[in-house]
Amino acid sequence: MVELGNLSQYAALGFALGAIILLVGGIIRNDFRYIMGGRRALAFTPLFTTMAALSLTYLFATDAFQVEYVMSYSDRALPFFYKLTAFWAGQDGSLLFWVWTLSLFAAVVAFNTRNELEQRPTPYIYLVMAGCMVFFLFLLTRVTNPFELLPFTSRDGRGLNPMLQNPGMIFHPPTLFLGYVGFTVPFAYALGAMMGGNPDESWLKKIRVWSVLSWVFLTIGIILGGQWAYVELGWGGYWAWDPVENASFIPWLVATAFIHTSIIQERRNIMRVWNMVLIVLTFVLCLFGTYLVRSGILQSVHDFGATGLGGYFLVFMAGAALLGFGLIVFSYQRLRSEHSIESYLSRESTFLFNNVILLALAFATLFGTMFPLLSEAVTGNKVTVSQPFFNRVNTPLFLLLLLITGLCPLIGWRKASASNLRKNFLLPAAVTTAGGLGLFIAGIREVYPFLAVSLSIFIASTIFQEFWTGTRARVRLTGEGALIAFPKLVWKMRSRYGGFVAHLGVVLMVIGITGSYAYKQENQATLKQGQTIAVGDYTLRYDRAGTYSDRNREVQAAEFSIFRDGQYLDKMRTERRFYTNAEQPTTEVSLRSTLLEDLYVTMPAVGENQEVTLKVAVNPLVIWVWIGGFVMVFGGIMSIIPRFTRREIIPHV
């Protein structure tokens, strides 16, 4: 299997290199046969990368500890399912997963463009895809090979990091990778369009699904990462503005900006240069994220930094940036739009300002992340830039973004009249004022939480107004009842309403984030059996403790009774686990989650006489962060579901 894996990687590299040679030959000689050959070579690479991926999976499943990578991330006691997911626990497997998905995407692109071979951008698109694949396959075969053998066969492996033995970690890395890899396709199409001399709107239409789907995967990856941090790390939060978290959030922000302005370009043929810049930037930032993670240049809570791959990524990233931005400069005259924004009071201009804020957020996050390096280089002083800094700098920008998100649906395309705006603005403004007053009476008076929730109410009311106006128009046109007209309207105009659903998800997330950060209550105490600890309306009584052994760990467990306002509610149990392969114990979070709040319990220490140190927190509205994330992802997917039927002709009644 090791040989098969190795050979498959080399074969994939050979085919990708072959594709490049044939494509370059085809472009230079203007020979269609070469381009066909290059396309075939590209389409064959997934065959070999799949074989390599299956080989590695088999080696993990069979405890092949003569392979260094398997020995480093698995052991005999590891549950079978985690053995399979240990595939992407380290750098080598992650890169193999990356190249496997990239090759599959390349094959899909080759299939989708089967009837477009005569179009000038097509061979360039293949060329960019093949170029990216060669880079990753080079790393896999020459620098960080997952099939590297040890000089001996180890009796057991080092095992998987206990923190990665969590369901969230099974899906978090692959979804992030799918997001990162997915943006290679829009990047390839953008470069193809410029190199092929045809940078009009056609490339954008073809990559809409790719860009939204990549954004969806990136969103899922980020949310799952937050969820994992919440249930596994035991500090009671889900986002710490850690450099590695930021590394995924920065391209997400730029990709979000791109998805918004690409809609404008599709509808109005404007912002062509802007969109090219955004998609090149998104791809480069995806690479930058990987560089940040793999170079170990910044200290992070993630422990997989400093692997020596940073230099390679830096060179590749610089090459991609030079090529992308160079082509934009070179194609500038052809990229210039024929049309333009007609009025400040138009949806186009709100999209433009939404872009400015998203990019400012990305820049602020990037600058803050890199500032420790800059400070050390300039002053020689080491500083730390963490959560408080990012909250201080980014929160005003987020609030401004919420305001623009709310205003956007109120303003029509091209040029909105002031009277129309007033008419549209009236209801949301009234609802927001009433909501704000309600918040004030309810005691929510701190500036940021008050503004965040009020603006969320504003966005939600503008979205519901949109749904209501559309449904009413359909009822008027078709004579259908509102209950039938509403789902039909949403389904038939899903690309438009999918966006609104995604914005509703943002609203839910903002409410969850505001509640959980601004109104968190916590307490910590060391208890003897029978003693209690109180936090908010809850009281926890420490009932009993015990120890037991599981497959790959020794466990100290403690059980509690929970009371709310004196009434018994439930029992909870929290653990400290001592994994055989880890020096430090891990704390297992005990969670009681409702729609209103989470009761979050961890046990940082157990004393010699069974006294336990408990950290208890009441985190309001956290569940809405996950629900909001799900709604956002659902909205994104909804907006790209293709049309299956012919367009319905609505009869006039």
Partner 1 sequence: MFDRRFKSLVILVFLVLMVPVLGHSATLSEIETEFMCDCGCGDMLVNCTCERSDEMRGLISQMNNQGQSKTQIVANFVSQFGEVILSSPPRKGFNLVAYGVPMTGFFFGAIVAVTLARRWRFSRRDEEDEESESGDDLSEEMEERIREELENLED
Binding site for partner 1 (CB under 8 A): 233-237, 240, 242, 270, 299-301, 339-344, 349, 352-353, 355-357, 359-360, 363-364, 367-368, 371, 374-375, 378-379, 381-389, 392-393, 397, 412-415, 417, 440, 445-447, 450, 473, 492-493, 495-496, 522, 584, 587, 602, 604-605, 615, 647
Nearest C-alpha neighbor of 125 from the set 110, 103, 115, 147 = 110
Residue 647 DSSP class? P
Measured at the alpha carbon of residue 291, what is the angle toward residues 285 and 292, in degrees to the nearest 5? 90
* Residue found under tokens 């966005």: 459
**In whole angstroms, what is the distance from residue 114 CA to residue 290 CA?**
32
Cβ atoms 584, 596 nearer than 8 A: no
Burial 84-123 (b: 16+ CB within 10 A, else e): ebbbbbbbbbbbbbbbbbbbebbbebbeebeeeeeeebbb
Between 279 and 366, name the residue whose CB sits nearer to partner 1.
366
Between 221 and 498, name the residue whose CB sits nearer to partner 1.
498
CB of 274 to partner 1, least distance (A): 9
CB of 305 to partner 1, least distance (A): 10
Nearest C-alpha neighbor of 40 from the set 133, 137, 106 = 106
Nearest C-alpha neighbor of 408 from the set 348, 453, 468 = 348
CB of 152 to partner 1, least distance (A): 32
CB of 426 to partner 1, least distance (A): 18
The set of long-range contacts for 106-110, using a CB threshold of 8 Å and a minimum separation of 24, is 106/42, 106/43, 106/45, 106/46, 106/130, 106/133, 107/42, 107/43, 107/45, 107/46, 109/185, 109/188, 110/39, 110/42, 110/43
CB of 5 to partner 1, least distance (A): 34
Q: Exposure of 582 by Cβ count < 10 A (0-12 exposed, 13-18 middle, 19+ buried)? A: middle
Burial 194-224 (b: 16+ CB within 10 A, else e): bbbeebebebbebbbbbbbbbbbbbbbbbbb
CB of 355 to partner 1, least distance (A): 8
Between 175 and 261, name the residue whose CB sits nearer to partner 1.
261
Between 16 and 455, name the residue whose CB sits nearer to partner 1.
455
Between 103 and 354, name the residue whose CB sits nearer to partner 1.
354
Cβ of 439: how many Cβ atoms within 10 Å? Answer: 17
CB of 102 to partner 1, least distance (A): 30
The set of long-range contacts for 581-585, using a CB threshold of 8 Å and a minimum separation of 24, is 581/75, 581/158, 581/159, 581/160, 581/162, 581/552, 582/159, 582/161, 582/162
CB of 318 to partner 1, least distance (A): 22
Between 368 and 428, name the residue whose CB sits nearer to partner 1.
368
CB of 598 to partner 1, least distance (A): 16
- 3-class SS at 118? coil
CB of 473 to partner 1, least distance (A): 7
Between 76 and 205, name the residue whose CB sits nearer to partner 1.
205
Residue 229 DSSP class? I
Between 28 and 418, name the residue whose CB sits nearer to partner 1.
418
CB of 78 to partner 1, least distance (A): 24
**In whole angstroms, what is the distance from residue 364 CA to residue 351 CA?**
20
Between 569 and 637, name the residue whose CB sits nearer to partner 1.
637
Between 235 and 425, name the residue whose CB sits nearer to partner 1.
235
CB of 300 to partner 1, least distance (A): 5
Nearest C-alpha neighbor of 633 from the set 457, 458, 509 = 509
Q: Which residues contact 539 (CB under 8 A, 6 or more apart)?
A: 532, 533, 562, 563, 564, 566
CB of 9 to partner 1, least distance (A): 33
Between 301 and 482, name the residue whose CB sits nearer to partner 1.
301
Q: Which helix (H) or strand (E) holds 86?
A: none
CB of 454 to partner 1, least distance (A): 11
Q: Exposure of 430 by Cβ count < 10 A (0-12 exposed, 13-18 middle, 19+ buried)? A: exposed
CB of 533 to partner 1, least distance (A): 15
Q: Which residues contact 253 (CB under 8 A, 6 or more apart)?
A: 358, 359, 361, 362, 365
Cβ atoms 24, 42 nearer than 8 A: no
* Beta-bridge partners for 586: 577
Q: Which residues contact 503 (CB under 8 A, 6 or more apart)?
A: 405, 459, 463, 635
**In whole angstroms, what is the distance from residue 416 CA to residue 420 CA?**
7
Between 315 and 650, name the residue whose CB sits nearer to partner 1.
650
**In whole angstroms, what is the distance from residue 546 CA to residue 557 CA?**
5
